[in-house]
Amino acid sequence: MPKRDIIVVGASSGGLEALRVLVSGLPVDFPASVFIVWHLSPQSPNLLPGLLDPHTPLKVSSAQDNEPIEPGRIYVARPDRHLLVSLGRVCVTNGPQENRFRPAVDTLFRSAACTYGPRVIGVVLTGQLDDGTAGLWAIKDRGGLSIIQSPLDAAFPSMPATARQYVAIDYELPLSAIA
């Protein structure tokens, strides 16, 4: 089994509470890097790292362009910027919106799939519409692992339900079991 050390997570509506629950379950010695996209208004203040930090022993920060990827860290997309990964580095870009969002879940997921293939675990949490589905498909296509929050457990079930409709999901779990 390949080492799975790149975790990409996408959430939208209802995502703040879901992300708090997810990061609170990660242990202090977590050996992977976690990248989070949460749909926000472009004018939103960059508060997510501070809102997640009290709930996890891991270092949480806003992603900075070209910073090195380190295990045991949580990188959060900034409002109005896409978060991507390249070989050993974080990328923050101002590319076009995708699925009506910047940052977009699919953008992060595809970059991880293309760069790290079977090392990637993609996680789609609560949210409306279908962002994350195409990116989760790319992760599976390149040998990665797919996880969705059970739509029955999600505050807004559309994102995980759509992913389940189009992607061969490895694990469909209640939020409390995903970490």
Active site residues: 12, 39, 131
Q: Give the whole-angstrom CA distance, residue 103 versus residue 81.
A: 5
A 10 A CB-CB count for 54 gives: 10
Q: Give the whole-angstrom CA distance, residue 106 versus residue 145.
A: 15
Q: Give the whole-angstrom CA distance, residue 129 versus residue 169.
A: 18
Edge-first strand listing for the sheet containing 33-38: 59-62, 73-76, 33-38, 6-11, 120-124, 145-149, 171-173
Place of tokens 């195409």: 134
